Structures are given as C-alpha cells and as structure tokens.
Structure 1
Amino acid sequence: MKNTKFSDMSTEELIKNQKTLKTVNTIFAVVLFMLFALNLFIVFMKGFSAMNVIPIALLPILFLNIKNLKEIKRELESRG
C-alpha cells in the first residue's frame, strides 16, 4: 500500500483499497491458519525447529492489515 494518508484519498480509492485489503486479509488469514495447523502437526511428528516460528512472525502483518481496514472504514463513515 502507498504511503498516503487515507484522508488524502478519494472515496473511490478508499472503497477500492478496502475491497482489495479485505480479500488479501481473508486469504492471508486462511493461509496463516493452515500454517499454524501444519506446524502443530510437524511439531508432534518431528519436534520443534526454527521454522515453526514463521506463522508467529507473520501474525503482526495480519494485525496491521486489520488496523488499516478499520481506519479506512472510519474515514468512509466520516465522509458520509
């Protein structure tokens, strides 16, 4: 995403970014859930390794995207 403020964007751009971010967030959340499940399986079968930290390391990206979605929604609501 660009480094522009949401207040500087047009309504159409905000709606487009919101739809894109919702889709990307949903796909990312599903993939992250699958990684967690696969990691649990691997931990029980082969034990812990350094690669098991990857889903935990990717979790902040999901939280940042959710925060951006909330900001876009707030900006759209403030415009009417």
Structure 2
Amino acid sequence: MANRQPTEMSNEELLKKEKITLVAVTLAAVSVILMLAVGIYLTFAKRKFSALLAIPVSLLAIFLANYVNLKKIRQEKSARGI
C-alpha cells in the first residue's frame, strides 16, 4: 500500500490511520522515555558513559515523524468536520 496524503484519503481511511498513528506515537514516546531513563541511570550507576543513550535519540526521529503525520491527519479531520 502506497503512502497517501491525508487529503487523498476517505473519511474511514483517515479515522483508521489516525488510530494506528496514535498508537505508534504513544508507544514510541513511552519507549523513548523509558530507554532514556534507563540509559541515564546506567550512566550514573556505572559512572561511565552508556552507549544505550544512542538508542532513544535515534528513536526520537521516528517519534517526531509519526507525530507530524498525526498532526496532519488531525488537521485534515478538522477541515472536513469529522
């Protein structure tokens, strides 16, 4: 399935895409926060830099991309009056 812009989707597709994207954004945010907390804890507990801090930083890009997509979907929903 090709990525389509929210303006090209039907109302049902838009609602379904919003639900899926909301779950993805929520899970990404929780995992980034959790991994960041664990990485910071391990850095201070071992008193040396933990390479685990690179993982949440890289996942932050995925979170931001999904968040921007969710914002576009919600704008289109409000424009249509759904």
**Shared fold (TM-score, shorter chain, > 0.5):** yes
- d(CA) in 2 for partners of 1:11, 1:43: 47
- d(CA) in 1 for partners of 2:4, 2:60: 24
Is 1:21 the counterpart of 2:21? The answer is: yes
TM-score, normalised to structure 2, is 0.86
Give the length in aligned residue pairs. Answer: 80
Partner of 1:4: 4
Partner of 2:59: 58
Cα deviation, 1:17-59, whole Å, max 9, x if unaligned, reads: 1011111211211111110110011101221143321111211
Partner of 2:36: 36
TM-score, normalised to structure 1, is 0.88
The residue type paired with residue 69 of structure 2 is N
- d(CA) in 2 for partners of 1:61, 1:51: 17
- Give the conservation status (yes or no) of the 8 Å contact 2:42–2:50: no
- Give the conservation status (yes or no) of the 8 Å contact 2:39–2:50: no
Gaps of 5+ in 1: none
Structure 2 residue matching 1:4: 3-state secondary structure:
coil
Gaps of 5+ in 2: none
Structure 1 residue matching 2:3: 3-state secondary structure:
coil
Partner of 2:80: 79
The residue type paired with residue 59 of structure 2 is L
* CA RMSD, 1 decimal: 1.6
What is the aligned-residue identity percentage? Answer: 39
